[in-house]
Amino acid sequence: MPVVDDKTIDFETIELLFFAYRDFVSDPDAILAKIGYGRAHHRVVYFVSRRPGMTVADLLAILQITKQSLARVLKELIDSGYIRQMAGPADRRQRRLYPTLAGRELALALSEPQSRRIAGAMEGFTPEMRDGVRTFLERMSRSDGTTPTDMAGVD
């Protein structure tokens, strides 16, 4: 392990990111705990609701988890009636994912407090300041130069 000069580390920003993430996920975590689910369920319901008809491969690319991990969470969400899985129209082996009405409602219930928290944090920001926050988050999100928004059309 190389020797690192701790003066080069931005501990303040690291801590702010830890605390922001902790608080950002706290409201959805409380909702999910009541139904016996966790953050993996949240991520699946969120992205399937945002991109109805996405394939399992799309979801794996976005979440960057193993097929085995996704399979367990997806089965629970399907069995509970939050997600439905259908064969692709051109390729019957392809599995397309759609939120059910209950899944869409759950995704909205989980996103609403997060959206409120973001709105409160950005209250009084100019459009340029908002763009700066989004640019920062996009740059933090991917080390390979692509952003999560580039993944919207993954197939």
Mean pLDDT estimate for the chain: 90
Please give the C-alpha separations between residue 59 and each of 1, 32, 50, 95, 124, in angstroms, as whole numbers.
34, 20, 11, 11, 35
Residue 133 belongs to some domain of the structure: no
pLDDT digits (tens, 9 = 90+) for 47-59: 999 999 999 999 9
Percentage of the residues of the chain whose pLDDT score is greater than 90: 79
Q: Judge whether 20 lies within some domain.
A: yes
Q: What value does the mean pLDDT take over residues 126-153? A: 77
Q: Is the pLDDT of residue 143 over 70?
A: no
User: Residue 142 above 90 pLDDT?
Assistant: no
Amino acid identity of 155?
A: D
Q: Which residues face 55 on adjacent strands? A: 96
Q: How confident is the model at residue 150 (pLDDT cuts 50, 70, 90)?
A: low
Residue 16 burial (C-beta neighbours within 10 Å; 0-12, 13-18, 19+) = exposed
**Per residue in 108-125, pLDDT tens?**
999 999 999 999 999 999
Determine the average pLDDT of the residues in 23-43: 97
Asked whether the predicted pLDDT for residue 76 surpasses 90, the reply is: yes
Within a domain: 14: yes
Query: For the chain, what is the domain count?
Result: 1
What CATH number is attached to the domain comprising 77?
Answer: 1.10.10.10
Q: What's the domain range around 45? A: 9-121
Residue 108, in any domain of the structure: yes
Which residue, chain included where needed, has tokens 């979801």?
A: 59
State pTM to two decimals: 0.84
The answer to whether residue 115 sits within a structural domain is: yes
Above pLDDT 70, what percent of the chain? 92
